[in-house]
Amino acid sequence: MTIQSPVPDNRENFDEIFKLLQKEYPNAEPMLHFNNPLELLVATILSAQCTDKQVNKVTQVLFKKYQNVEDFANADLTELGKDIYTTGFYHQKAKHIIGSAQLIITEFGCRVPDNMEDLLKLPGVGRKTANIVLARGYDIIEGIAVDTHVTRLSQKLGFTKNNDPKKIEIDLMALAEKKDLENLSMTLILHGRNVCIARRPKCGACVVSELCPSSEV
């Protein structure tokens, strides 16, 4: 059995790596389709363990049926579950969406919260979802959304030795300027999807392979 060596600290190369990746992905825009913070919240909840492409396909119909927070709050759990079935984990996601909508009405005046503390009170909303809603829904940069791609790439690139998303978020926030955190998240996600693929990384086609301590080139 091959024992993998720990990835060395590579934080000194962060600025150059990020600059190269930004050139590679100059339009690192969010893939989820939405028109307002509520739709963004719902779409982000649905995106857990599901592709953005599939979520967009579902929400194209969903947002015509449920047009405001009251519609989601009053939704039938079984019916909403059927509506979002193809996104996976549909029963739990439906509970989270309905529960969040109800709390938004009773506690937040029918408006999706625009701060981390209140967003984290919503069912099924963790820091990743909250950061996405704040950044893309309100242009508020509170932190960085750490998903599986961001976790994996930040570890492989030697930016963090942590596994906990919150600790990874802290490590990345120490490296990047606050205004760049949303772009950093999207850039790492795109690179993870297109090049640094989990099971078959395309190191030969990677623009940062010479600076990556995990490169197989």
pLDDT in tens, 170-204: 999 999 999 999 999 999 999 999 999 999 999 99
CA distance 30 to 26: 12
CA atoms within 13 A on the CB side of 191: 29
pTM beyond 0.85, yes or no:
yes
Residue 127 within any structural domain of the chain: yes
Q: Give binding residues for [4Fe-4S] cluster as ranges.
A: 196, 203, 206, 212
Which is catalytic among the residues 83, 128, 156, 171?
A: 128
Q: Do 128 and 58 share a structural domain?
A: yes
> CB under 8 Å, gap of 24 or more: what pairs does 28-36 form?
28/183, 28/186, 28/187, 28/189, 28/190, 29/186, 30/132, 30/136, 30/186, 31/56, 32/56, 32/59, 32/136, 33/59, 33/60, 34/59, 34/136, 34/137, 35/63, 36/137
Which is catalytic among the residues 147, 167, 171, 178?
A: 147
Among 95, 115, 138, give the residue marking a domain's end. Answer: 138
147 flagged as catalytic = yes
Q: What is the mean pLDDT of residues 33-53?
A: 97
Q: Do 129 and 166 share a structural domain?
A: no
Average pLDDT, the chain: 95
Residue 78 is part of which domain span? 37-138
Whether 39 and 136 have beta carbons less than 8 Å apart is answered as no
Among 138, 156, 171, give the residue marking a domain's end. Answer: 138
Domains: count for the chain = 2
Residue 4 within any structural domain of the chain: no
Work out the pLDDT band at 1, boundaries 50, 70, 90. very low
CA angle 175, 127, 176 (to 5 degrees): 10
